[in-house]
Structure 1
Amino acid sequence: MKLTISTWLQNLGIACSIASFFTLFFRITDFAWVTKSVYYIPVFFVVLFLLGLVIAEDVRKAFKKMFWYDKRKEQRPIWQVGIGFIFFLAQIGIVMVFSEGLTHLKLGGMPLVFVVAFMNAFILTVIYEEIFFRKERAKTSVNNSK
């Protein structure tokens, strides 16, 4: 199975989101003892992150099937939304697990962490597209000119 850097980064983001949200879920329940930390890093997070890396590829493929990614004539919009969503969720999850104090800051009633994560996800999606989608754009323009 060939994994490109693009796929690898997507899988890292998915694994990070999975681990973060499950760690957060256990932290706010009666099972908070599961999320004990070593050097401020929850052991449960590390275990779930490693398990998340194992299943991230399958999760990514399941979402592609669910949204009929391969059947779409123009795949770029759904690709951008997917990448942006991965970046957004990973940032929110990391802040919730590692810097919970930042979640109390508000901007007009909305938690500031959501605003910053949304802006970062937008910028990261544009940068990501310029790095990884440029090759696919060049291939389609070459094929169209023939």
Structure 2
Amino acid sequence: MQELYFQQKFPISLDEAWDFFSNPSNLKEITPAYMDFVVTSRHHGERMYPGQIITYIIRPVLGVPLKWCTEITHVENMRYFVDEQRFGPYAFWHHQHHFRKVDGGILMEDILHYKIPYGPLGLLADALFVGRQVRGIFDYRMKVLTERFGALP
């Protein structure tokens, strides 16, 4: 199991941050274009809620489409939400999104736990490719979000 932690500060209100991040329609904007990320759920709504199922198609490797299904398992308004994979490319995926006020804006924290299937082969794939790709996706996200919202030191 891998654990990754990312944080970013933005000079925006907690309301503005929550409005953006709790809307599943904004996921495509913060995902690298090469992944050809498409939300396929018909009823993904404008706000996340516990029990919500969101389905996607992604193309993380060589344009091969993969179906991915996540459930929003926990939501505490203006504080955090959790998405967990139900079906998809990982053996385990648990992603926490936390938000809190800081001087001049908000602090956003992502805590990700994931595991690649296929035992030792999965561990090798994670070491050679998947881990780098996951970190690259979060690096891309940080860049896009800084361009959109600005950054706090």
Superposition TM-score tier, normalisation by shorter sequence: 0.3 to 0.5
Pair member with larger Rg: 1
**TM-score relative to the length of structure 1:** 0.34
TM-score when normalising by structure 2: 0.33
More helix by share: 1
Q: Which has the higher strand share?
A: 2
